[in-house]
Structure 1
Amino acid sequence: MDKKVLPILVVDDEKPILIRHKTILSKYFGKVITATNGEEAWQHFKANKVIPVVITDIQMPNKDGIWLINQIRSENKATQIIIISTLTKSSVAIFSTYRNISYLPKPVDEIYLRLAAMNAYNIYAESVWINMLRDEICKFEPDEDRIWQIVSSDPWRKDTPLLPEEMGGDHQNDMPLQSLPESAKTETSSIMPGQAGSTADNNSLEMQKSIAKAKEVFGEEAFEAFWEELKDISESVEIKLLDLEQHPQDQNLIGAVFRDFHTIKGNCGMMGFTIVEGLTHRLEDVFSKIRSGDLLATPNVIDTALTGKDIITRLLQAETGETIMNDQKNLHEAINSFM
């Protein structure tokens, strides 16, 4: 079954993630269809005669991933479905209900996304092959030539690119930084202000390298989409934080700020911006404590979050100098006081 002919469908409401996944998978599949919600994806699925693999998020506006999976399974049992999401009770329920569904946690490394998609495609091809062979053999008068033709098209061949350890030797340096598991990333990516070896130049240089690598791997379009969404979320966070200062008990506002920081963290992780990802993760932890009632949304906490939001933008602009280093150090100290 030719991967250059049949399409795969990728569904996610976060455009930078969607563009990243399409960029990665387009290297191996001839046609990658994208959608930003379940309803749009379902229209694509119905419009195409065959879609062997669907890769979908769960939490999306309009119709979510659970709805999409139920729609697909109501008409097609063979399509392979890969869920890329934070594991929830609803996604666990889906695993126990349907076959041919696999799961990858967000954010997913490039190599695992590629291997999961190609493995799912091959499983689909194998199931089609088995059904064709079974149907022909079970006929009252089987066509021997047709059986031989099917057998000759045996899909069980290893055309999936090998993992580095299967190739022999150390090939990790041949892959983009963001495609490696966390344990394989360089220590310089996780240097934080206040730690040994941390300087303004270290962080600035690291961000410059990360941004250049992101543009190289994902393209200018993906980076611009990431940047535009970041600016939108940043503006949204500021408005919500100022509202929260007036209504510090508002759980809806607290949850909304938490989700915004979570989205920024995920997007930065996808792009390989580990310094910003780590900082945003700490801000997310602060609002996790507020949500659980272990911390109050005091003016000091809100000021710290606003400062953190600004520093995230400055880091992504690769700001240099002692000022940004000192501001980061002060921010981490403030966060430490809340934890």
Structure 2
Amino acid sequence: GEFISFLGPSGCGKTTLLRIIAGLTVPTSGEVRIAGRDVGRDPPYRRNIGLVFQSYALFPHKSVAANVNFGLRHRTSLNPRERSVAIDEALSLVRLQQYRDRKPSELSGGQQQRVALARAVVTRPEVLLLDEPLSNLDAKLREEMRIELKELHRTLGMTFIYVTHDRVEALSMSDRIVVMRDGRVDQIGSPAQVFVEPASIEVARFMGYGNLLPGEVDGTDDGTLQVRIEGVGTVTADAPQGVRDARSVWLLIRNNAITLRPAAAATAGPQGVLHGRIRSILYHGLHIEAHVELGKGTLLRVELTAHQNRHLRQGDEVDVDVLRAGTWLLQRDEE
């Protein structure tokens, strides 16, 4: 009954793994179990799964109701009246009852995707597989569909397995996230675990840690480490269990966990203050991205609100505060 997301960059094996579960790709080793039953030798139609593709794969000449009915006719023994009731229930779940007689060409992209969802769940599968189903929708529709998918999962109570390269989709909908890279699983955990405590540099980058700095541990104090960045300064960071005895670490800093102030206005605080010069400022609408050059050519990417940016200009000397809550440490192999 979980909502699980396979998250990773293109080519990491997300869709291949989904196709193996669906029975569309034969694995070279291992087992595929659904509800404890080994289905590795079963064809797709015997696995009791629903599948929603990136493309909606609707029959253009059939009505909405006929598209939803397609799976029922081929996978259940319901009579016509029972099928009609099941179709109405499925369309009700995705709020498309009034569109049952329309053709796909008369629907918006979001409505077509909901028809594909209704067709996939009408047979009440044990597992619903979703292969980047929102990638063809615009930003506003994607946001709306994320909410609808989560509500649908809550209503149906079946297992959802969702493939995406969008961390926002995975974080906002999932009970657990499987982060993949190069055909392997890097980390499995709740959204909070994966976001706050990434297990590797690659996972950290995927979760929004835009700054990666090599450092040496200078000291410890009540569960924190003093991390010295050569030619830059010292930053205080929480000490995860696995790196408390490390000497060399990677300091990961989120772009939005950094504040900038004109050098003359800053005072050293408990987080530690670094010093740099603003190399460039990029406007992104809701936020500003500043590139700050520290000592020895180290570059920080900093995400600021327009309000935070109003007194800062390219070329300004600034003091840099790093918020401890936005840092993470990973052990680094000593050179």
Task: Give TM class, smaller chain.
Answer: under 0.3
Q: Between Structure 1 and Structure 2, which shows a larger proportion of strand residues?
A: 2
The structure with the largest alpha-carbon Rg is 2
Higher helix share: 1
The normalised TM-score by structure 2 is: 0.27
Per chain length, whose mean CA-contact separation is higher, i.e. which structure has more relative contact order (CA < 8 Å, sep 6+)? Answer: 2
TM-score (norm 1): 0.27
